[in-house]
């Protein structure tokens, strides 16, 4: 069991190679007790490989992973008692009833018979499965099947939950239900979630770890990641007046703002202008005062636009590719033909010095 101040998950310089190909390259991060972490990356970035190493399904080439203070490499079976794992494809038996399946899983996880009944009632309530407890799993919708997978992962009350794409293939209504279910576990269990639905990650997770090319390229709260990768503040104003006078209005107010765009079309005489600044201070109020000064403009709305997590993700992965992809090497110069006086390369083809094969008879 991990000490009170020890992280539930600790990954240090994790490396995994397949036949010389490095899938995971010196990955390091931690997950604190009760924390929900989003694990993001493009396809092939190494997310699923990392998760399989964390759960003890495959060994690492080098590096260390500790789950609740236990070394995964040395005790792969022991750490499984501390982990609830929901894989991407969520394998469930289609011919079993929900309650029957969860009861079987509880026994396999070592939950005592005396405790199992009350625990089943709890997870069925938390996952909103009581009405479906007698239904055959094969007849359930994708959303209910995902709930069964989550119920299975939390059944034995593990300290750590690892979920690989828990909302994949769900409709928006089902995604909201799964998101609320996961958020309800905050503080009770440490959760690592991999997903491509970035708005859900932002609304659910305390921190985000972004991996690309097998390396961690960013790790922080969504707010701090915005500051790191997209430091510009953007303001969008809907106003009426002279488009050409915007530059002078900003100059008179002494605002360090750039005009990114001005809409061509008008809506009842109003147009939209987008401003940006790298100034860390909030300038929205000063911008409004500058636009309203002298009654040169009528201001219908002014809002600050936060970069989305998708934009942060694209900026972080783009920056990492710039680092990971070296500049192409210049092509080697062709040897000059000495018989041509060291001038231009000879146009005559080189002769093949290998022996001519003798045709078989």
Question: Residue 322 has what pLDDT?
Answer: 55
Question: Residue 341 has what pLDDT?
Answer: 46
Among candidate residues 305, 303, 270, the one with its CA nearest the CA of residue 288: 303
**Higher-confidence position of 19 and 168:** 19
Question: Residue 98 has what pLDDT?
Answer: 97
Q: Quick one: pLDDT band at residue 64, thresholds 50, 70, 90?
A: very high
State yes or no: pLDDT of 268 exceeds 90.
no
Question: Residue 205 has what pLDDT?
Answer: 93
State yes or no: pLDDT of 28 exceeds 50.
yes
Question: Residue 338 has what pLDDT?
Answer: 46
**Higher-confidence position of 361 and 312:** 312
Question: Residue 166 has what pLDDT?
Answer: 87
Sign (positive or negative) of CA dihedral 142, 146, 147, 148: positive
Q: What is the DSSP string of 180-243?
A: HHHHTTTTTSEEEEE-S-HHHHHHH-SEEEEEETTEEEEEE-HHHHHHHH---EEEEEEEES-S
Q: What's the mean pLDDT in 270-289? A: 88
State yes or no: pLDDT of 67 exceeds 60.
yes
On whether the CB atoms of residues 136 and 96 are closer than 8 A, the answer is yes
Q: Is-same-fold flag (9-221; 231-305)? A: no
Give the number of other CB atoms < 10 A from CB of residue 250.
19
On whether the CB atoms of residues 195 and 166 are closer than 8 A, the answer is yes
**Going by C-beta distance under 8 Å and a sequence separation of 6 or more, which residues neighbour residue 39?**
47, 50, 51, 192, 193, 194, 209, 211
Q: Quick one: pLDDT band at residue 295, thresholds 50, 70, 90?
A: confident
The CATH H-level superfamily of 231-305 is ACT domain (3.30.70.260)
Domain boundaries, the chain: 9-221, 231-305
**Higher-confidence position of 284 and 37:** 37
Q: What's the mean pLDDT in 21-34? A: 94
On whether the CB atoms of residues 51 and 194 are closer than 8 A, the answer is yes
Question: Residue 3 has what pLDDT?
Answer: 56
On whether the CB atoms of residues 142 and 169 are closer than 8 A, the answer is yes
State yes or no: pLDDT of 25 exceeds 90.
yes
Class of domain 9-221: alpha beta
Select the highest-mean-pLDDT range: 39-43, 86-90, 176-180. 39-43
Q: What's the mean pLDDT in 253-262? A: 87
Q: What's the mean pLDDT in 223-234? A: 88
Mean pLDDT of the chain: 84
Question: Residue 2 has what pLDDT?
Answer: 54
Q: Quick one: pLDDT band at residue 320, thresholds 50, 70, 90?
A: low
Question: Residue 340 has what pLDDT?
Answer: 46
């Amino acid at each position: 069991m991990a000490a009170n101040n020890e992280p539930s998950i600790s990954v240090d310089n994790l490396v995994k190679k397949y036949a010389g190909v490095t899938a995971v390259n010196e990955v390091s991060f931690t997950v604190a007790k009760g924390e929900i972490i989003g694990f993001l990356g493009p396809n092939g970035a190494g997310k699923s490989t990392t998760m399989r190493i964390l759960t003890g399904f495959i060994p690492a080439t080098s590096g260390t992973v500790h789950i609740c203070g236990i070394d995964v490499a040395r005790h792969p079976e022991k750490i499984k008692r501390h982990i609830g794992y929901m894989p991407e494809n969520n394998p469930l038996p289609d011919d079993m009833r929900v309650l029957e399946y969860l009861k079987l899983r509880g026994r396999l996880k070592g939950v005592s018979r005396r405790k199992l009944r009350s625990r089943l009632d709890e997870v069925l309530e938390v996952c909103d499965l009581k009405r479906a407890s007698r239904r055959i799993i094969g007849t359930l919708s994708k959303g209910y099947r995902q709930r069964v997978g989550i119920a299975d992962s939390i059944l034995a009350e593990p300290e750590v939950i690892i979920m690989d794409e828990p909302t994949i293939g769900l409709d928006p209504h089902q995604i909201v239900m799964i998101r609320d279910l996961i958020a309800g576990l905050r503080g009770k269990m440490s959760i690592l979630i991999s997903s491509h639905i970035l708005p859900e990650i932002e609304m659910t997770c305390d921190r985000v770890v972004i991996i690309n090319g097998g390396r961690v390229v960013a790790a922080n709260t969504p707010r701090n990641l915005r500051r790191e990768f997209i430091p510009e503040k953007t303001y969008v104003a809907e106003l009426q007046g002279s488009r050409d006078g915007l530059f002078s209005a900003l100059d008179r107010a002494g605002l360090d703002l750039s005009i990114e765009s001005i809409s061509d079309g008008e809506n009842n005489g109003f147009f939209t202008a987008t401003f940006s600044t790298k100034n860390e201070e909030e300038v929205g109020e000063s911008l409004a005062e500058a636009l309203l000064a002298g009654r040169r403009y009528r201001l219908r709305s002014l809002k600050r636009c936060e970069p989305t997590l998708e934009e942060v993700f694209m900026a972080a992965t783009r920056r990492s590719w710039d680092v990971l992809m070296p500049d192409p090497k210049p092509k080697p110069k062709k040897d000059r033909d000495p018989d041509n006086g060291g001038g231009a390369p000879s146009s005559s083809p080189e002769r093949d010095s290998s022996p001519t094969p003798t045709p078989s008879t």
